[in-house]
Structure 1
Amino acid sequence: MIKKILNNKLLFIGVHIVFGYLGTLPLFPKIYGFLVVLIPSILIFSSSNEKEEAFLFSSYIVGVEVFTRMLGGFIFYETGKYAIIIFLVLGISQGKFKQVFSVQYVFYILLLLLGIVFTKVPEGESIRKAIVFNLSGPVLLGIAALYFYKRPITREQLLNALFFMLLPLFSMVTFLYFRTPDLSEIVFGGEANFQTSGGFGPNQVATAIGLGIFILTIFILLKEKLSGYLFLDAVFLIYFIFRGLLTFSRGGIITALIAILFLIFFYFLYKKISFKIFFKYISIAVVFLVAVWLYTSNITKGMLDNRYTGKNKAGVQKDITTGRLDILEIQFSNFLDNPLGIGVGNGKYERKKDLDAVTAASHNEAGRLLEEHGVIGLILLLILGIVPLFNFFRGDYFQKAFIISFYLIWFLTINHSAMRIALPGFIYALSLIRITDYEEET
Structure 2
Amino acid sequence: MGVLCIVVPIYYIFSSKNKNEEAFIFASYLVGAEVFIRMTSGFVFYETGKYGVILFLLLGIFVGRFKQVFSVHYVFYILLLLLGIIFTQVPEGESLRKNILFNLSGPIVLGVAAFYFYLRPISKKKQLDALFFMLLPLFSMICYLYFRTPDLEEIVFGGEANFATSGGFGPNQVATAIGLGMFILTVFILLKEKLSGYLILDSIFLIYFTFRGLLTFSRGGIITSAITLLLFAFFFLLYRKLNFKTLFKYLLVALFFIFAIWVYTSGITGGMLNNRYTGKNARGIQKDITTGRGDLLEIQFSNFLDNPLGIGVGNGKYKRLERTEHVTAASHNEVGRLLEEHGYIGFFLLLLLLFVPMFNFFRSDLYRKAFIISFYTMWFLTINHSAMRIALPGFIYALSLIRITEDEEA
The alignment's TM-score, normalised by the length of structure 2, stands at: 0.98
Partners of 2:243 and 2:361 in 1: CA distance: 24
Moved over 4 A (4+): none
- Whether the 8 Å contact between 1:134 and 1:344 is mirrored in structure 2 is yes
Paired residue type of 2:95: S
Partners of 1:275 and 1:362 in 2: CA distance: 45
Q: Residue 250 of structure 1: which of 194, 202, 219 is its match?
A: 219
Deviation at 1:411? Answer: 0.1
Partner of 1:16: none
SS at match of 1:374: helix
- Whether the 8 Å contact between 2:89 and 2:312 is mirrored in structure 1 is yes
Deviation at 1:273? Answer: 1.1
The answer to whether residue 151 in structure 2 is matched with residue 182 in structure 1 is yes
Partner of 2:182: 213
Paired residue type of 1:382: L
Partner of 1:28: none
SS at match of 1:315: coil
Partner of 2:283: 314
Partner of 2:64: 95
Partners of 1:186 and 1:326 in 2: CA distance: 30
Cα RMSD for the two superposed structures: 0.9
Q: Residue 29 of structure 2: which of 33, 46, 60 is its match?
A: 60
The answer to whether residue 398 in structure 2 is matched with residue 418 in structure 1 is no
Q: Which moved more, 1:320-329 or 1:32-41?
A: 32-41
Partner of 1:233: 202
- Whether the 8 Å contact between 1:92 and 1:99 is mirrored in structure 2 is no
Q: Residue 5 of structure 2: which of 36, 43, 61 is its match?
A: 36
Aligned pairs (5 A) from 1:8-157: 32-157=1-126
Paired residue type of 1:47: S
Q: Residue 140 of structure 2: which of 171, 175, 182 is its match?
A: 171
Deviation at 1:351? Answer: 1.4
- Whether the 8 Å contact between 2:311 and 2:342 is mirrored in structure 1 is yes
Paired residue type of 1:233: D
The answer to whether residue 353 in structure 2 is matched with residue 402 in structure 1 is no
The answer to whether residue 304 in structure 2 is matched with residue 324 in structure 1 is no
Partners of 1:68 and 1:275 in 2: CA distance: 44
Partners of 1:360 and 1:333 in 2: CA distance: 16
SS at match of 2:160: coil
Partners of 1:161 and 1:189 in 2: CA distance: 37
SS at match of 2:332: coil
Partners of 1:355 and 1:395 in 2: CA distance: 50
Q: Deviations over 1:36-71 (max 9, x none)?
A: 111011001110000000000000000000000001
Q: Residue 358 of structure 1: which of 323, 327, 344 is its match?
A: 327
Deviation at 1:279? Answer: 1.8
Deviation at 1:352? Answer: 2.1
Q: Which runs of 5+ in 2 are unaligned?
A: none
Deviation at 1:196? Answer: 0.3
Paired residue type of 2:121: P
Partner of 2:256: 287
- Whether the 8 Å contact between 1:327 and 1:351 is mirrored in structure 2 is no
Partners of 1:316 and 1:98 in 2: CA distance: 56
Partners of 2:281 and 2:202 in 1: CA distance: 35
Partners of 2:295 and 2:217 in 1: CA distance: 21
Partners of 2:9 and 2:78 in 1: CA distance: 25
- Whether the 8 Å contact between 1:214 and 1:256 is mirrored in structure 2 is yes
Partners of 2:148 and 2:328 in 1: CA distance: 28
Q: Which runs of 5+ in 1 are unaligned?
A: 1-31
- Whether the 8 Å contact between 1:166 and 1:212 is mirrored in structure 2 is yes
Partner of 2:172: 203
Partners of 1:428 and 1:195 in 2: CA distance: 31
Deviation at 1:357? Answer: 4.6
Partner of 2:269: 300
Q: Deviations over 1:126-162 (max 9, x none)?
A: 1111100000000010000000000011110000000
Aligned pairs (5 A) from 1:245-284: 245-284=214-253
Q: Percent identity?
A: 73
Paired residue type of 2:398: A
Aligned pairs (5 A) from 1:333-372: 333-354=302-323, 357-372=326-341
Partners of 1:355 and 1:306 in 2: CA distance: 31
SS at match of 1:435: strand
- Whether the 8 Å contact between 1:220 and 1:230 is mirrored in structure 2 is yes
Partners of 1:424 and 1:105 in 2: CA distance: 16
SS at match of 1:379: helix
Paired residue type of 1:335: F
SS at match of 1:415: helix
Partners of 1:145 and 1:269 in 2: CA distance: 28
Paired residue type of 1:76: F
Deviation at 1:356? Answer: 5.2
Paired residue type of 2:122: I
Partners of 2:401 and 2:35 in 1: CA distance: 24
Name the count of aligned residue pairs. 407
Q: Deviations over 1:108-135 (max 9, x none)?
A: 1111100000000111111111100000
Paired residue type of 2:359: F
Partners of 1:397 and 1:138 in 2: CA distance: 29
Deviation at 1:95? Answer: 1.2
Change (3 A) 1:397 1:362: same
- Whether the 8 Å contact between 1:183 and 1:299 is mirrored in structure 2 is yes
SS at match of 2:404: strand
Aligned pairs (5 A) from 1:375-386: 375-386=344-355
Partner of 1:432: 401
Partners of 1:288 and 1:202 in 2: CA distance: 24
